[in-house]
Structure 1
Amino acid sequence: MWFNNIPSDLSFSASAKNCLTIQISSLASSGRLYEILITGENQSDWAKGYQKTIWYNTPADNFGSIRDIHLAWIRVRERLLVLDMGKRFAFSSDALSVPIVSQMVEDILFTPQGNGTLITWHVYYNLRSYLRPFQSFLKNRIFQNMFYDFARGLSDYAESHP
């Protein structure tokens, strides 16, 4: 079963009630990090709980492509917003199998830094109204750990698989 979210674009970042930003310094190149993220290369090795991806278009062919990401505890329907090779990858979470948020955008930036890359993973979201009393818990105990693990796992995998 799917719970629809409000479809978003990047302008949602200015009005989101919640924002989480994770930054990881990686020794991997921005191009390699982007390639792994967009193709899902061995994603079960670096994304905790990852199970599978289903594409509804040619994978990552353009703005607007849709995919479902299946994690152990949730499925997320993503609509691609930005595909800027080696620099930026962003998407709107348009539906979830667990009704946690009503609107969500992830915006992942890759910035050259010395001999590597700074990964900046922004997560903009509005919680469903009945979960607002648990905002701090969800952000600090669930979302922060999950997105940190994704960013760290991506970096570690890219560094060990150049």
Structure 2
Amino acid sequence: MARRLRPVELDFIDEAPVRLAFTARAAASPAAVYRALAEEVTGWPAWFRAVTLARPTRGGAGREIGLLGGVRFQETVVAADPGLRYAYRVDETNVPGVRALLEEWLLTPDGSGTVVRWTFAADGPAPFRLALTAARPGLGQSFRTAVRTLDARLAARTGS
């Protein structure tokens, strides 16, 4: 059953009890990476292996996400700054224990490419926070693999 989470805003990135941040470099431009993140939401399952369903809702102001294992999220986009940042909070989920969750993707130009920084900010009771912290290595590996896969797809698209 879906559970409603506490609505949080961008400042939660700095205030969350658990903050997991990961970075990776893509050869693609910030504009190309942003397009894949924010404008081509339905394409996420093709490059982020953990994502099984991704579709925009409410005219692009929200997203419905499915993950491996049956996890579901209903999200609200809280920042959509083309070529710079894409962030969303989870409004409803079937994940037990979580009270608040916000993810932010920051895109920084790096030569002709992009440094991608993904921050996962969450709150929940102590067992949830401990489990999330223990999941850090797996989340980091999943993120780095996703960025590599996305970058290869974007390169194939442009023929570079």
How far the C-alpha of 1:112 sits from its partner, in A, is 0.7
Q: Answer with 146-155 or 81-90: which moved more.
A: 146-155
Alignment of 1:9-158 (within 5 A): 9-38=9-38, 39-40=40-41, 42-58=43-59, 60=60, 65-73=61-69, 74-141=71-138, 143-158=139-154
Q: Answer with 81-90 or 127-136: which moved more.
A: 127-136
Q: Answer with 2-11 or 33-42: which moved more.
A: 33-42
CA contact (8 A) 1:22 1:151 kept: no
CA contact (8 A) 1:87 1:110 kept: yes
How far the C-alpha of 1:18 sits from its partner, in A, is 1.1
How far the C-alpha of 1:41 sits from its partner, in A, is 5.2
Match of 2:157 among 154, 157, 161: 161
Q: Which amino acid aligns with 1:91?
A: Y
Structure 2: distance between partners of 1:70 and 1:76: 6
Q: 1:99 to 1:156 in 2, by over 3 A?
A: farther
RMSD of Structure 2 on Structure 1 (CA): 2.0
Alignment gaps of 5+ in structure 1: none
CA contact (8 A) 1:99 1:128 kept: no
Higher helix fraction (1 or 2): 2
TM-score normalised by L of structure 2:
0.85
Structure 1: distance between partners of 2:130 and 2:119: 22
Identity among equivalent pairs (%):
23
Alignment gaps of 5+ in structure 2: none
Structure 1: distance between partners of 2:102 and 2:120: 6
